[in-house]
Structure 1
């Protein structure tokens, strides 16, 4: 998942899981030349909403182990990482990151959606859990989508 890779890069670069926000912006915009400073700030906002980083005591703290993320030498994130993703997209990205074939996962989730009569978000969360994937942070989003559909 390129969002996780982009977020991990500054932490890996500095050898820590805690950084000042401006250090992250500098790492993403000046050091790596991946984003403008404004885009780097947007990436931080997206990463915060998606639970990849948390703001604590004026710092950004990675909520995952950045050293577990492989950053390919030729990696350059696309601007898609700057937009909010639906719970379905987030689950699908997590499944693919764990080795699932994207088209097979989409087909299975669609089948489960029809079988259970639920939203695509809820079906994605159920499918991911059945595959042994921890998607607890997306359960409230899926639950909310179910309630809104009624």
Structure 2
């Protein structure tokens, strides 16, 4: 323990602010999506990723990597979306192990209905609270954290 680099008071303040803000923001966004569209936040993000993909489809492994989600967690969420008719799955013709998630027309409509309220909530609870300089600092700082953690490959 003698080699431990303990957090300074300012570093501890930053860490605690990050923990509280991320938990509270996630709670607000989750509730807003549930109330407005019946979607969970992970389900909304799946629909967003699929809508941005060519032909509205992605391999499940690519989708899991992009969402920073486990394959089993993604499978559960896609199953729920599939039951609701918002997503369908298709097998890869060149790789029997490959499965694609495909956005349906109903999924695209649900996303189009959910997006305005979600964006308004993100703006109200995060973007409009910060100055442009703070937004840049958050994006740069958390972007660096994300890049370093992705490089670890875990």
The structure that is strand-richer by fraction is 2
The structure that is helix-richer by fraction is 2
Higher Cα Rg, which structure: 2
